[in-house]
Each structure stands twice: as C-alpha cells, then as structure tokens.
Amino acid sequence: MTAHHRHESIIWLGAAVAAAVVLFAFGPGIALLGTEIMIMALFACSLNLIMSYGGMVSFGHAAYFGLGAYGFALAIVRFDVPPALALACGPILALLAALLFGSLCVRLSHIYFAMLTLACAEITYAILFQAYDFTGGDTGLTRFVAPRFGLTPQLYGLVVLVVLLLSLLILRRLVASPLGLAIRSVGEDPYRTAALGYNPRRVQLAAFVVAGGFAGLAGMLFSVFHGNAFPDYAGLAFTLDALVMVVIGGLHSFVGPIYGAIIYLLMKTFISRYVGEWELVVGIVLMAVVLGAPRGLAGLAARLGIPSGGRKS
C-alpha cells in the first residue's frame, strides 16, 4: 500500500467515524433521518454515474430502485427465500432489468434516451401496480419483515453506512479504472471513443447496468428500512428526487449527490412541517442553484476553497 492510499483510507475512515458518531449521539430520530439520507445518497450516486460520467440523463432510474425493493420483498413473500438470501435478490433483479432495458435504451441518445428510460420505468411501475395477486398492487407489500430486521435505528444506520462506504469505494475505483475512463470518454464524445476502438454502446450499457445495480441496492436497503415495498418506489417522483439531488449537489462531481441528498431531504422533511407550500421553496432553491451555482453545492464549496472540485475533463 502506498503512502497516498494509506492517507486516503484514513480520511474515509475519519468520515465514516464522524457519520457513525452522528448516528449514535443524537437518538433514534436523527439516526432514522440519517439513514434515509444515506440510502437516498447511494441512489443519487448511482444515477450520477450515468449522468455525470456517462452523459446519459435518465428519466426512469427509479425503476431499478423499485425493483431492488421488490426483488427483496417478493423473494420473501412469494418464494419463501430466507431473508439473508433475499437481500441479494433485490440488487440482482435490478441489475437484470437494467441489462434488459439498458440494451434498448443505449441505442438512443439525449432526450430520446431519456424518454425511453421513462417508458421502461413506467412499464415497470404499471406491472408492480397492476399485478395484484403477485405484487400486492398499489397497496404494496407490508409487514413481511420487521423494519430494519428489528435492528435499532442506530445499528441499522451503521449497516447502511458501511454499505454506502463500500459502494462509494467501488464506484470511485470504477470511475478511475479503464472502464471508467471509457465511460467518461463516451459521455463527452462517443465518436472519438468509437475511433479509439471502444464500442460506445457496450461501454454505456456497462455503466447503465452498474448504476441499475447500485440503485437496486439502495432500493433494497430502503425496503428493509421501512419494512415495505410500494409501486411508488419505481415511480417518477423518486426519479425526480434523484435528479434534483444530483443537480443541487453538483453535476460532474463524485460526492455532489451526497451533498444533494442531505440538502434535499432536509428541505423536503423540515420545510413541509412549517410551510404547506414546500414545493415552492424547493423550486426556488432549484432555480437559484441552476442560475447561480450550476456546479451545485460541490462547485460552491470548491469556490469557497473547500477542496471538492469538479470532475476533471
């Protein structure tokens, strides 16, 4: 291990300890909120991989989040899979769906790509919504496991923190790997990438599947967190949530979505407690970010001298 790597590991460790302290120091209410933020941060990071690095804007990313939740829930409810094994079913189902839908979607680009991802997500949503006998329909699945498997909010938060950190490390390794470079390259200029000997569609599909898998992981964690699964988890509202988190946090930044998740969820949670018109506030913040700080919070932080600069291009 080089000195550089050791240094980096210490910093991640420090961050993890800080987060763990937060989870344990302020009671279960804060632990619950912190856990939700971490799960949504993972979801947003997975979207960020294809958006910021792969240059693909998806309007249907929640499909994989929702399938992550349902893969887990259905494995238990319909197939009597032991819960420990069912945990793996969520991300795997999401991954497979991403492979299927992704192979269709990557044939298109820009808004057409986005609209086809939307269509795939809406079809997923409709199946979850309509197949009562299998998925429970719009009334979803509840009470099939104890929420958080009965772990205390703090302990489950710790589990999610560990999963989040591992996922971030994997994603971070990925974007620095040759495949990651190829993904960035396709995001910037598919023609040049093709000229370099890569098959741009394959590269995009790889990114799409990885993103779908991590979204599924987040969805599975969310399903365990609440002990339920609803078609809404695959719906447009969740996709929009993730898009907004990425933009507020900062497009083209690796940790931007984490900032975004923190800010957006705090806004959504607390503003709606005092103001009925919470969406108005979110709208104004969003507009201010796009006009005033198009690199999001990560970009702002960089400008203030906090080291969090954007992705190099």
Identify residue 106 by its one-letter amino acid code: V
| Span 213-242, contacts to another protein by CB under 8 A | 222, 226-228, 230, 232-233, 236-237, 240
| Span 235-274, contacts to another protein by CB under 8 A | 236-237, 240, 243-244, 247, 251, 253-255, 258-259, 262, 266, 269-270, 272-273
Query: C-beta of 60: minimal distance to another protein in Å?
Result: 10
Indicate the angle between helix axes 83-105 and 110-130, nearest 10 degrees.
140
* Residue 134 touches another protein, criterion: CB under 8 A: no
- Map residues 52-81 to x or -, x wherever contact with another protein holds by CB under 8 A: -----x------------------------
Residue among 6, 21, 170, 196 that touches another protein (CB under 8 A)? 21
| Span 277-296, contacts to another protein by CB under 8 A | 277-280, 282-284, 286-287, 290-291, 294
92 or 193: CB nearest another protein: 193
* Residue 99 touches another protein, criterion: CB under 8 A: no
Query: C-beta of 235: minimal distance to another protein in Å?
Result: 9
d(CA 60, CA 238): 9
| Choices 86-94, 121-129, 177-185, 207-215 (CB under 8 A): range interacting with another protein | 121-129
Query: C-beta of 28: minimal distance to another protein in Å?
Result: 5
Query: C-beta of 160: minimal distance to another protein in Å?
Result: 13
* Residue 6 touches another protein, criterion: CB under 8 A: no
Query: C-beta of 275: minimal distance to another protein in Å?
Result: 9
d(CA 10, CA 97): 37
| Span 138-197, contacts to another protein by CB under 8 A | 138-140, 142-143, 146-147, 153, 168, 172, 190-191, 194
Query: C-beta of 151: minimal distance to another protein in Å?
Result: 12
Query: C-beta of 93: minimal distance to another protein in Å?
Result: 19
* Residue 131 touches another protein, criterion: CB under 8 A: no
